[in-house]
Amino acid sequence: MLTEASDKYLGQILKPQKDGSKLRNCSTCGRVDLIRRDNKSTRCQPCAASSNAKQQDSSKRRRPVTCCCENCKIEFITSQTTRRRWCSAQCRSLQLYENRTCLHCDESFRVRHSAIAAGTNASGNFCSRACYEVYLCKPDRVNGRGSQWHRVRNEEIKKFPLCAWCGTRRRLQVHHIVPFRLTRDNSGNNLIPLCVKCHKRIEWITVHLEMAQFDAQRLHHILSSYLRHRQRHTFYVVSKLLRESKARALAH
């Protein structure tokens, strides 16, 4: 027996059609629907949705393609969606990683190419943080920076409240152009503000020059001219940007 729902459905279909409607017989499942006269679809809504889903699945189907390994240059087959760049995990490791020797303990270690930056990156030159810190402390160190250091430091940052190298105002420190352990000099001629990142970079250069047996006078001549030139350039660029921003603010 037909249920009440099916009787109601058949009643809607078999009742006299209006001018703007028509009967549609689904070409897939044979279902009869009452639709608008301007609807040109030959399938019911469930069949149309199922067909679209199948087409999407077929378009995403993994098709084999031939690629060339970036390391060994051997062709291999991979899927179109994956597009692997290497034929094996070994080739991937050889392409992305490099064998290095620690500058402190002479132990070999592996590091990514992206971690190596012009000989100034600790992860590319040392196998561990401990070796990096011990290497930087090879020259004799002294505790403290002399009397009135905090006052001297604050005065130097007030004179030029930007990193002399990159121009940032964040995490500023005051760097001794010639290390304090060599000259005990806290005068403005031997001080320059640097951010933490740039301070480490300049300290790396200073340690290498000091280990190359450069005396204090020659160190000051080389590093002072190098850093002061960069400081003047940074001041010029920052001043230019400030003038341009003020001009745009006045224009608006």
The answer to whether position 26 is within a domain reads: no
The answer to whether position 70 is within a domain reads: yes
The strand pairing partners of 68, in sequence order, are 75
Pairing, β 21-25 against β 172-176: unpaired
Domain shared by 153 and 123, yes or no: no
Question: Token digits for 218?
Answer: 């020659």
Domain shared by 241 and 155, yes or no: yes
The pLDDT tens digits for 16-38 are 455 678 888 888 888 888 888 88
- State the residue for tokens 């121009």: 167
**What is the CB neighbour count within 10 angstroms for residue 32?**
13
The answer to whether position 15 is within a domain reads: no
Total structural domains within the chain:
2
Q: Are 44 and 26 in contact (CB under 8 A)?
A: yes
The answer to whether position 53 is within a domain reads: no
Q: Are 68 and 75 in contact (CB under 8 A)?
A: yes
Percent of the chain with pLDDT over 90: 9
**What is the CB neighbour count within 10 angstroms for residue 185?**
17
The residue among 112, 136, 160 that closes a domain is 136
Domain shared by 132 and 155, yes or no: no
The predicted model gives 133-156 an average pLDDT of: 74
At residue 181, the pLDDT reads 83
Question: Token digits for 228?
Answer: 């002061």
Domain shared by 182 and 219, yes or no: yes
The answer to whether position 52 is within a domain reads: no
Q: What 3-state DSSP class applies to 58? A: helix
At residue 55, the pLDDT reads 60
Domain shared by 205 and 153, yes or no: yes
Domain shared by 208 and 174, yes or no: yes
Pairing, β 32-36 against β 97-101: unpaired
Buried b (16+ CB within 10 A) or exposed e, 128-137: eeebbeebbe
Q: Which domain holds residue 109?
A: 66-136
Q: Are 39 and 48 in contact (CB under 8 A)?
A: no
The answer to whether position 192 is within a domain reads: yes
Question: Token digits for 54?
Answer: 């199948």
Q: Are 234 and 169 in contact (CB under 8 A)?
A: no
Is the pLDDT at 98 greater than 70, yes or no? Answer: yes
Domain shared by 122 and 164, yes or no: no
The predicted model gives 191-203 an average pLDDT of: 90
The residue among 136, 160, 177 that closes a domain is 136
The answer to whether position 50 is within a domain reads: no
Is the pLDDT at 115 greater than 60, yes or no? Answer: yes
pTM for the whole thing?
0.49
Q: Are 24 and 48 in contact (CB under 8 A)?
A: no
Domain shared by 170 and 203, yes or no: yes
Domain shared by 128 and 210, yes or no: no
Nearest-angstrom CA–CA distance, 252 and 144: 51
The residue among 90, 110, 136 that closes a domain is 136
The strand pairing partners of 194, in sequence order, are 173
Please, which residues have CB within 8 angstroms of residue 38's CB and are 6 or more apart in sequence?
Answer: none
Domain shared by 177 and 106, yes or no: no
At residue 116, the pLDDT reads 72
Domain shared by 155 and 234, yes or no: yes
Q: Are 175 and 190 in contact (CB under 8 A)?
A: no
Name the band, by pLDDT with cuts 50, 70 and 90, for residue 2: very low
According to DSSP, residue 188 is labeled: G
- State the residue for tokens 């995490």: 171
Domain shared by 163 and 211, yes or no: yes
The answer to whether position 20 is within a domain reads: no
Arithmetic mean of pLDDT over the chain: 79
